[in-house]
């Protein structure tokens, strides 16, 4: 079980457009976003299977910044995405002792207008 999320890095992006895409291979939400600080426009795809209504961390492979990821979509008053990179704590028990581990994670929160 994970607890005590601490963000080391937070960045907010404005969502310009969002699309739903379904193919025989996948279902995804496509977001066109802009970084307000740099003016860079980019696209981010989120697979429907990666969305998490229960706010659970999902193990990922091949990412140097994080071992787990959480992607949440919510309703709000404006369209934006918040990217947070940080750490969560996890207790690991063995027969002899109990350790507290600090695990690198990434969290994406997409907030869309009602």
Which tens digit of pLDDT belongs to each residue from 18-71?
Answer: 999 999 999 999 999 999 999 999 999 999 888 876 778 888 887 778 889 999
For residues 100 and 6, the answer to whether their CB atoms sit within 8 Å is: no
Q: Can you tell me the distance from the alpha carbon of 42 to that of 58, in angstroms, rounded to the nearest whole number?
A: 24
pLDDT of residue 92: 82
The total of structural domains in the chain comes to 1
- Report yes or no on whether pTM surpasses 0.75: yes
Q: What's the chain's average pLDDT?
A: 90
Q: Which residue range is the domain that position 67 belongs to?
A: 2-113
Identify the H or E element spanning 17.
strand 2-22
């Amino acid at each position: 079980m994970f607890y005590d999320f601490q963000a080391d890095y937070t960045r907010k992006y404005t969502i310009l457009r969002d699309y739903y895409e379904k193919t025989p291979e996948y279902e995804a939400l496509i977001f066109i976003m802009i970084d307000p600080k740099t003016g860079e426009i980019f696209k981010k795809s989120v697979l429907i299977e990666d969305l998490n209504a229960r706010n659970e961390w999902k193990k990922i492979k091949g990412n140097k910044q994080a071992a787990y990821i959480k992607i949440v979509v919510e309703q709000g008053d404006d369209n934006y995405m918040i990217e947070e990179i940080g750490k969560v704590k996890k207790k690991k028990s063995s027969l002899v002792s109990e350790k507290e581990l600090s695990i690198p994670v990434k969290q994406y929160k997409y907030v869309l207008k009602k």
